[in-house]
Structure formats: structure tokens, C-alpha cells
Amino acid sequence: MKKSRRDFLKKGTEGAFLLSLGGILPGFSAKAYANILGANDKILAASMGVNSRGLAVAKNFANQPNSEVIHICDVDARASEICIEAVEKVQEKRPFNTPDFRKALEDKDVDVLIVTAPDHWHAPAALLACSAGKHVYLEKPCSHNPKEGEMLLESAKRHKRVLQMGNQRRSWPNVAMAIKELHNGIIGRPYYAKTWYTNNRDTIGIGKNTAVPSWLNYDLWQGPAPRKPFKDNLIHYNWHWFWHWGTGEALNNGTHMVDLARWGLGVDFPVKVNSSGGRFRFQDDWETPDTQMISIEFANKSMITWEGRSCNGKLDEGNSVGVIFYGENGSMLIESGNAYKIFDLQNKLVKEVKNDFEIDPRNLQNPSQQLDALHIQNFFDGIRKGSPVISDIDGGYKSTLLVQLGNISQRTGRTLNIDNTNGHIMNDKEALKFWSRTYESGWEPKI
């Protein structure tokens, strides 16, 4: 039985891989997700990084009738225990406590690695999973730097694995319908997409070097990143604001809306990227911008902007997060939830599709469980049926790269000229230093 199940999954995977290379978007239908296989053919998953958002994702996988979480992997012993209890309650079967996710990858029963660890671990963990023959559900951003994204593309191709990035809004029904209407010309040719994220984040203060807590495997937490002393304002969450481990608000939240903007405009690589901003609100250890404006221009006379305001939560267009497309004949606003509005050139509302799910975009753990389940089922269809996944690693890499280029522009202090055939930075040796990173000896990622 085990062999036949895995053979079936393998055949489905090969079909999904071939389709995903073409960037084909599946016809979206919520009813299609109801056609799932029986309980005897469950996809078995290991979940890596289960504090906060990782806890929610693990529970969501466990809640799916066609999957089971069999390993919980976290460097924080407290987070592991909380997640194990929560998952057991959902699926009525206790997962193994496997602190080092690499041990879970040795389990032949594991089909999928869920990666919800910090950003510096995203690509290295996914690469290890692919080489171990596992599929990957990879939370955004797909990588810490562009080189790692390129490695993911090569790894998926070489090992024929399904990699789905967790930009879940692509699977939200009304969002997908909005993009379809956009592509069908409801506002004419869209040429500008404005995206944003706002919040009221507090200061992280000045950290102190302290002893590593007994509950934390700090060496494994750092993993591929060169070693630095432990500080008391780093774990959990604040690592987002340190370039050594995180990627700032631009990739933490900007990736979601920039991805929708890229999808809506039908663009891939840009010709020019510029960013301005900085750490303006507080004077503390926070390194990445808390206020940032990224501008991304494309060869087809279109552009995307992203505005990040981490420390001032004033709403834009009535939403803390969103994207608005401006076109020849009007505009389309995709709101923070599963909803959109269409306006004509005189600002008259001509159509409104309202959200029918409860969503809190500022909830760090679980803003939209029911809708995100559709994204998970799309991932499962890619594994089982060979269906193209709606957020394959090719698209995930391209969307992640746009905001990575924005951060590189921010760090170099100048506009970047980009080769729009491959997304590479042209004629800027200083900027190219940020294309990759240095790694702790012995922890370098491999394809």
C-alpha cells in the first residue's frame, strides 16, 4: 500500500512539474478542491518553524482531510510542545517531536516539508527538502537573497519537486476573479499598480548580549547564517528587522501585494528599480526601513510601487494592506480581504464584490485560515494530480525578486538598472554584492 501511494504521488508530481514550467495558471474553482482522495492516501507533512505563523500553518495542514502532520520541528522546545498539542487536538493523532528538521527529512514517509522558519532558513531548508525527495510548501519570501531564489528554481527542476510559495491570496476566490476581470479588460489596459502595508509596530529597543535560553537551540536557529551573539530582543519575530536574518517589511508583507500587482499587470522582470526610506520612527536596533517606497518600472510602460509604513497604521484606501490598479478606463482596488471594487475615471463605484470570509490582515499568526486552505489544496493537487500550482517557484521567485531588488536599491542608495530578460542587476558591482550572502562554514546551501 505504501509503495502504491508513493508511486501515485510521484506520477502526479512529474505532471505538475512539466506544467509549472510553462507558468500556466489553473482555472480557479472552489468546487474543484472538493475532489480529493480518501483518507488512506493522505499527504504526510513535517512542519519546520512552528511559533506564531508556523503554528497556524501546521494546524491548517492538520485540519485538511487529505493530509496529516507527522513531525513538528522547532528549535524552541516551548513552541514545539504547544504545536504538538494543538495539532494532536485537530487531527487526533500525535506528531513526533523532531527538533532538527533534517531528521524529519530522513523519514521516508514524509511527502512534504512545510517551511515557516525565519527568512534566512527558507531557501536552504527547501533545498535540503528537494534533494531528499520532498515537496515544499514555502512561506514567503521564498529566499533571503536572489541567488538563493535561482538555486530553488534549479533544484525544483533537477529533483522534479513541487514548490508552492505561501502567497495565499492567489487562491482567494474573489481575488482570483478580480485578476481575471482585469486581464479581460474591465478597466482597459492597466499600467500602474500601487501596493501598500501599514502597521503600528513598537520599538524593539537596544538588545543586550545574554545567555542563550535553555529552551532554544540557537546554533540550529542561526543555521546557514554566520554566527552572531544572542541578544534578548531578537527571538521571536524581531529578526525580521535585521539584514543578517530578515528581509524587512518589504518582503515580510510587501511580497503578498507586489505579487498580486505583478500578476495583474502580467509582467516578469523590470528594467529599473528604486527605493527610498529608512528607520525613521525609533532609534533602536531595527536595521531595515520602517518607512519605505519602492518603485519598479517595466519595459511595457507599466510600473509597480510599494509603500511600507511599519510604524504608522493610517489606512490607505480604507485598508491597512492592498493593491489598486490604474488603467485606461478606470481603476480596480483589491482590498485587504477577499474583496474588490471597480471605479470609472470619474471615481464612480461601478462594481463591488464583497468579502465573505473573516480576515484580519494584521493578525501575525492566522489572518485567513479558510481561504488559505484553498492554497494548500491547490498544492496537494499539484502533488497528486499533476495540476499546475497557482504559485509555483518560478512565479514565487519573480515576485520575491522584485522586492529584493527594492531592498538592494535601498541599501546602495541608488537606482538599479535591470536586464529585463533575467532580472539581473547591470553594471553595478556594489549592488551585486547583495545578490548573495556569506554563509557559516559547513552550512552552505546546495542544489
Instruction: Output DSSP code: residue 225.
Output: S
> What gap in Å lies between CA 140 and CA 94, rounded to an integer?
27
CA distance 10 to 8: 5
Amino acid 26: pLDDT:
38
Partners of residue 138 on adjacent β-strands: 115, 165
- CB 388 within 8 Å of CB 382: yes
The predicted pLDDT at position 38 comes to 38
Element (H, E) at 165: strand 163-165
**Structure pTM?**
0.90
Kindly give the confidence (pLDDT) of every residue in the chain, 447 residues in length, as a single tens digit, with 9 standing for 90 and above. Answer: 344 455 545 555 444 443 433 333 333 333 333 333 334 589 999 999 999 899 999 999 999 999 999 999 999 999 999 999 999 999 999 999 999 999 999 999 999 999 999 999 999 999 999 999 999 999 999 999 999 999 999 999 999 999 999 999 999 999 999 999 999 999 999 999 999 999 999 999 999 999 999 999 999 999 999 999 999 999 999 999 999 999 999 999 999 999 999 999 999 999 999 999 999 999 999 999 999 999 999 999 999 999 999 999 999 999 999 999 999 999 999 999 899 999 999 999 999 999 876 656 555 445 567 888 999 999 999 999 999 999 999 999 999 999 999 999 999 999 999 999 999 999 999 999 999 999 999 999 999
Would you kindly state where each structural domain of the chain is located, as residue ranges?
2-171+371-392, 173-205+219-364+397-432
Residue 337 backbone phi and psi in degrees, to 5: -100, -160
Distance CA 253, CA 310 (A): 10
For residue 201, what are the contacts with CB-CB under 8 A and spacing of at least 6?
290, 310, 311
**Dihedral angle of Cα 308, 314, 315, 320, to the nearest 10 degrees:** 50
Q: Is 325 in a helix, a strand, or coil?
A: strand
Is the CB of residue 170 less than 8 Å from the CB of residue 399? no
Terminal alpha carbon distance of the chain: 31
119: CB partners within 8 A, 6+ apart? 141, 144, 239, 240, 245, 246, 247, 251
In CATH, which of 3.40.50.720, 3.90.245.10, 3.40.50.2000, 3.40.50.12780 is domain 2-171+371-392? 3.40.50.720
Same fold: 2-171+371-392 with 173-205+219-364+397-432: no
CATH class given for the domain over 173-205+219-364+397-432? alpha beta
- The pLDDT assigned to 371 comes to 86
What is the residue-wise DSSP string for 341-406? EEEETT--EEEEE---S---TT-SS-S-HHHHHHHHHHHHHHHHT-PPPTTBHHHHHHHHHHHHHH
